[in-house]
A and B are shown apart, each in its own frame.
Chain A
Amino acid sequence: MIKRLFVLLAVAGMAVILIPFVSGNGAGDALNNVAATYVEDAPRDLGTMNIVTAVIVTYRGLDTLGEVLVLFIATAGVGFLLKKRREGDPVQPPSEILSTGGMILMPLIVLFGIYVFSHGHLTPGGGFQGGVIIATAFLLAMLSARRLPIYSGLLTWIESVSGFAYLAVGVLGLVLAGGFLDSRLLPAGRYGSLLSSGTIPLIYTFIGLKVGTELVSILDKLRSNQ
């Protein structure tokens, strides 16, 4: 019972810390200086329509690199803890309709994922969302196909090449443009066209491939470990 009391005290303390946010929120009716600078400068300097993409890839690019690194380490941890075993026979093979429908839908979902991460600077979306959509397509295939060989060697290869290319683009920005991960390495292009805003589509493609392959390998480890 004394334990329950301590738990209640901890939750109450957390509530006391968090409650002031409720009344403090929504007080201002203008952007703060940092956000206003991002919104005004990003279309002019970088040529991106989507300001969130500009913040993620260029202005706070180093943070994104750190996040990708955390994702990589977590994936490596899952792979270390769940060693891949023999491919077991599925308990109940999927029906004809499910496997056919899955095989028809999967390439379309992959195509949509590629659309999302290549248009990250123009529309909502980007490398993280596109990678997740691609992982969802492979999940559909895992659930519906009778036997789906996932080549983990190929996945590892795509993942390491795209991670290396991401870093290489960053270092090239340091040498040839204003700083590490500066997207003005390539010309900004016409505002609103697909091949515009410097290296942002390139970096988001690498992030999309890396995130997609990492999530597919997590799902594959969890599936075939039995």
Chain B
Amino acid sequence: MIHAVTATGIILILTGLWCMLTRKHIIRIIIGFSIIDTGIHIMIVSTGYIRNRTAPILDHAVGLQGAADKVVDPVPSALVLTAIVIGLAVTALMLSYAVKLYRRKRTLDINNYAELKW
């Protein structure tokens, strides 16, 4: 089961990368970025999973004795939790740049932004 989850995360990362590199519309490129984001989060969470263990919340059902043998790794969850919130803020920043670009040139086709083309 966990191998399938990791593989899904990798497929999402590759799909998002393909989307960012081949699509022309800037909004679509940002969607690709958010797909990569989700894929990376799934991969990181899947590294902390251990079979037949429960969430790292030590209430009375889990108990404090020998808790380290009953729960999954809390560190990947903690990393991903903050990363999701940051991902939203960065996506909003990218989208407001897209609006700014559209106001300037009235197009969102990436081929029309060729000022740096050699």
Contact = CB atoms under 8 A, between A and B. Distances in A.
A26 B3 contact: yes
A56 B74 CA distance: 10
B85 A128 contact: yes
B73 A218 contact: no
A67 B74 contact: no
A51 interface: yes
Contacts of B78: 52, 55-56, 60
Given A25-B3, A43-B58, A64-B82, A55 B51 contact: no
Interface residues of B, number: 50
Contact of A74 (B57, B58, B92): B92
Given A39-B68, A39-B71, A67-B86, A218 B92 contact: yes
A56 to B, nearest CB: 5
A77 B17 contact: no
Contacts of B69: 30
A21 B74 CA distance: 19
B110 interface: no
Interface stretch (A11-19, A98-106, A156-164, A172-180): A11-19
Contacts of A40: 67-68
Contacts of A71: 85-86, 89
Given A11-B14, A26-B3, A74-B92, A192 B86 contact: no
Interface of A: 4, 7, 10-11, 14-15, 18-19, 21-23, 25-26, 28-32, 34-36, 38-40, 43-44, 49-52, 54-56, 60, 63-64, 67, 70-71, 74-75, 77-78, 81-82, 122-124, 126, 128, 132, 192, 211, 214-215, 218, 221-222, 225
What are the 8 closest A-B residue pairs judged by CB atoms, nearest first?
Answer: A74-B89, A51-B56, A55-B78, A26-B2, A51-B74, A81-B96, A67-B82, A7-B21
